[in-house]
Structure 1
């Protein structure tokens, strides 16, 4: 009978601690609202891993960035705001002063419009803190029509936004 008194407080305490998920799926949509597939975000020791699995993009090289607002209003996705930049850095993975936290390597889309890639985002996290993607305004992932040149301010001269997905807790 005494053992049950120890179990109940432990169960109550475990239900009170709420942690951010360490894995999240982000569904990506084009400008007309068609689903292009998902990008799976997974917390790693070295940052956030993005497993990209998309179809329906135009072939070629496309910029991909994490943006500062969790809204993806088509067709232009301006609602996603600017690149996620909690440390007020300059744009571009090639910039000598460091990049926005949301700057990512370009995607290479195959001739059939598909892309499968694994990208690391070392300057962001799903955990609490300054670099967390779970902000009051939310965050999103945006794909642009062209490649990011890695230097041009403020967004790499990568053209218009063609796809967007909101990063939200609990979408696995």
Structure 2
């Protein structure tokens, strides 16, 4: 009888240790999966730009949010060669032929218009200028942690806003919009 009790206890102890090891391994696997999920988690929105103000400017804009950063990349065609301004405007409404239905620059923190990062202030929508080459095409890229996609923070969330390309360049000083000229391409950022 004693021998069977000892065997039974040894077996129970062995199974108990085995279960603890299994639980430990399971927890390690779950933590690894969570880390991988956090690393891969990203939000992507893409949309086409439409011509405005009798222009032929078209393009594609992508926003990708990953690890607390939002990256914007855009390609355009139909531009006149030279510098053009690009901004985020306050309303996702491109219905007006001249793009004015998008309202002013997105400025949730009530700052003066300026160059991105300027200590004197700038709008959250003041992306800046880009250069179109001789054939009228251009690429733009921009990255910031001051934006988010769908986070609900009114000072950071770009959903419900519009992207506007202007005929001219932004002078970064004229208030409230940088004297960049007509709005020649538009799209709304829709969820």
- Relative to the length of structure 2, the TM-score reads 0.70
Change (3 A) 1:58 1:83: same
| Aligned match for 1:117, one of 140, 153, 156 | 140
Give the superposition deviation at 1:36.
1.1
Please state which structure has a larger fraction of its residues in helix: 2
- Relative to structure 1, the CA distance from residue 56 to residue 35 in structure 2 (aligned partners, 3 Å threshold; closer, same or farther) is closer
1:22 is paired with a residue whose SS is strand
Give the 3 Å change call, closer, same or farther, for CA 157–35 of structure 1 in structure 2: closer
2:127 aligns with: 104
Cα deviation, residue 49, structure 1: 1.1
Q: Deviations over 1:26-63 (max 9, x none)?
A: 21011258671211111144632111111111111000
Residue 40 of structure 1 pairs with residue 54 of structure 2: no
In structure 1, which of residues 23, 28, 46 is the aligned counterpart of residue 49 of structure 2?
Answer: 28
Larger Rg: 2
Deviation at 1:80, TM superposition (A): 0.4
- Give the aligned CA root-mean-square deviation in angstroms: 2.0
Find the aligned partners of 2:146 and 2:48 in 1 and give their Cα distance.
22
Structure 2, unaligned runs of 5 or more: 1-41
Q: Provide runs of 4+ in structure 1 moved above 4 Å.
A: 32-35
2 CA distance for matches of 1:43 and 1:59? 31
Counterpart check, 1:157 vs 2:145:
no
Per-residue CA shift, 1:99-132, capped at 9, x if unaligned? 1000002111111111122122442210221211
Using the alignment, how far apart are the partners of 2:101 and 2:70 within structure 1?
23
String of CA shifts for 1:61-118, please: whole Å, max 9, x gaps. 0000000000012421110001011111110116533210000021111111111221
Q: Which has the higher contact order (CA 8 A, sep 6+)?
A: 1
Q: Name the SS of the counterpart of 1:79 in structure 2.
A: helix
Normalised by the length of structure 1, the TM-score is 0.77
Secondary structure of the structure 2 residue equivalent to 1:105: strand
